[in-house]
Amino acid sequence: MWRFAFSVAVALAFAAPGAAQPNTTGVATPEAVRGSNARQPAKKATAAANQARQERTTRPETLRGSRYGGFAPAPSGPPPVLDIASPRTLNLVNFNTEEVLTVTYWSSGTYHREALDRLNRFLRDTRDNAQTEMDPLVLDVLWHTAQIVGYGGSIEVLSAYRSPSTNAWLASVSRGVARNSEHMNGNAMDIRFPGVPVFQVRQAAYSLNMGGVGFYPRSGFVHLDTGPVRYW
């Protein structure tokens, strides 16, 4: 029996090279098919896919998105009808200092310098008291967001302007803080509308399509900025 098995194995061993010989028509099988060259495009495609996958999973915004509930879908439906005539008044509470401020910063088609100065002070970096000229448009984003959800109470401000040193420190202790944060440009705010579901605030903010909107349901706040339009 073992002799029979041995003879079969020998026959198969000699038959294998025949598979690589020219076919019955006399045309040799292309080298690219049976040689290592055929695997090169597949290897390159696999390497490219792996690199793209790695980039997607290591981008800061991806990490923040996966940690805080995933990216929001792009706004759908018609844009909201905005009130562009009424005076714009904000009732603010500084979450860190417990300061309060009620100020009308825009009316009759113009921003009011004195009101903006008061807001610049109120929205300062409370860690080192540095302040900057806040972008008035981020105030408008906040005001319109409150109007859309029908909120007329005090808005809690968790963070507004951040000095570069404060932002660097925060980024070193929290993966959710971008090292090039828009907060350093004076055009971002982290806010809460007490009593209003954070999801509803997020929906209202990104329906405006006026900048970045970050959704942090576990911490109960929404990030607003007037940088590039994006959602996370």
Mean pLDDT of the 186-210 span: 96
Instruction: Please report the beta strands in 108-180, taking only residues with DSSP state E, as ranges in sequence order.
Output: 110-111, 155-159
Check residue 69 and give its pLDDT.
40
Mean pLDDT of the 23-34 span: 35
The listed range with the strongest mean pLDDT (1-10, 39-48, 167-176) is 167-176
CA distance 205 to 200: 9
Which amino acid belongs to residue 185?
N
In the chain the domains, ranked by start, together with CATH numbers, are: 88-231 (3.30.1380.10)
DSSP three-state, residue 40 = helix
CA distance 62 to 55: 9
CA distance 151 to 202: 13
Mean pLDDT of the 21-28 span: 38
Higher pLDDT, 128 or 74: 128
Band (47; pLDDT cuts 50, 70, 90): low
pLDDT of residue 98 exceeding 80, the answer is yes
